[in-house]
Chain A
């Protein structure tokens, strides 16, 4: 599974970072970024999906 962020949509709420600080970080431009390439280990998939759903700006996408 792979995550991606539509950076221009991000509202900087930080929900993704609160839920999965190992997958997301805040960028210099007030928009969230992926840590690494966004590839998610199987063990982390549910957490990644939860973070994506929690994003109020709907900025986080999941490719299965």
Chain B
């Protein structure tokens, strides 16, 4: 086969394929996808599907007919197990070799596993979400391990479905490791106001059976929590196992240059699996967010079609999360050790905007129920506008 071979048939892979067609690429496009499903909306799994109880059909992104029409061949249930960058071939589980003129690695990430935990749920795939939804039906007791985005969304969804929820988080506050204590405290209040019990500053030693058909969670201080369902959301790791021995740099995801070009000719990476230097922030990044996968796929498609005038990938990172009817948004690269300036805090509608300042520049921002400010800050970050200009236009300084 000559043409573009894409490994991973989720958002980064599918968007790369469609981006190629939009740029009038006429060669063959094949996507290898290990899973059984057509591409679906992953963020919706912990939102619409789990919280709002929508159907599996409603989270599907493309039909077979859509792919056919675009001339994209998606091979489901087809796992790549090896790559030879000299011969330019990808090996499948059955030993078959597929060659490529350009390769796009879009294998995403997989949930980090909690050691010594048995009978717990993770949330990554459609199957995971449907299983979890069945498990949290009715007045069950749920323990969520990790108060990151996924843990927090699961806690919110389970609460909305009348489960009683306890969240265990090793850090002092939800998302505190990234956003610091000021914002973390606010998020803790958001959970607690909905009746969720937070156990902060504690980690889980093991999860086993409670002897009565349920689960028993043992914390590092010996406390035990008996419950019906345990959900673990403690981060993700890039899926690069299949690239072992390829010679590619896969230290933390697939190492790329600013054009998303990996360390071998005609090999690119996009989405959760890609690590690259973002010139806008002068920082090497690997971003596990939906919008990043979409934007990066667009740049990879461009750079495949236009190798003579490649585009550097230098986005403003963005992530949103919906919890308890509130919308959280993060733009840029906030860090817990930045100087945090609150520029909006309205108890009436629960809106909050926090700016993260580093070296006298805006590094990032967190917003709760404040979409127009987020838009404005995203633009300011893209332009790397000076801090006083941003402070003057965003509102009151205090």
Contact = CB atoms under 8 A, between A and B. Distances in A.
B371 A12 contact: yes
Given A8-B48, A58-B61, A14 B43 contact: no
A38 interface: no
Interface string B23-64: 000000000000000000101100010000000000001000
Of A12, A53, A54, A57, most buried by chain B (CB within 10 Å of CB) is A12
A4 to B, nearest CB: 16
B216 to A, nearest CB: 37
Contacts of B43: 11, 57
Interface residues of A, number: 15
B159 interface: no
B290 A56 contact: yes
A13 B61 contact: no
B318 interface: yes
A8 B325 CA distance: 12
Contact of A56 (B18, B48, B295, B371): B295
A18 B379 contact: yes
B291 A13 contact: yes
A14 B41 CA distance: 19
Contact of B375 (A8, A26, A56, A58): A26
Contact of A30 (B18, B327, B379): B327
Given A9-B41, A12-B329, A30-B327, 5 more contacts: A9-B44, A11-B43, A14-B378, A53-B18, A57-B290
B112 interface: no
B372 interface: yes
22 contacts: A8-B48, A9-B41, A9-B44, A11-B43, A11-B291, A12-B371, A13-B318, A13-B320, A14-B371, A18-B375, A26-B371, A30-B327, A30-B369, A30-B371, A53-B18, A53-B22, A54-B298, A56-B290, A56-B291, A56-B295, A57-B43, A57-B290
Interface residues of B, number: 23
B374 interface: yes
B131 to A, nearest CB: 24
A17 interface: yes
Contact of B327 (A12, A14, A56, A57): A12
A8 B41 CA distance: 13
Nearest to A14: B375
Contacts of A30: 327, 369, 371
Contacts of B295: 56
The 5 A-B residue pairs whose C-beta atoms are closest, nearest first, are: A56-B294, A56-B291, A30-B371, A14-B375, A30-B327
A8 B61 CA distance: 15
Given A30-B327, A56-B295, A12 B290 contact: no
B41 A58 contact: yes
B375 A11 contact: no
Interface string A1-33: 000000011011110011000000010001000
Nearest to B326: A30
Nearest to A50: B22
A26 B369 CA distance: 12
Contacts of A14: 371, 374-375, 378
A9 B58 CA distance: 11
Contacts of A18: 375, 379
Contacts of B327: 12, 30
A8 B58 CA distance: 12
Interface in B259-294: 290-291, 294
Nearest to B290: A56
Interface string A39-63: 0000000000000011011100000
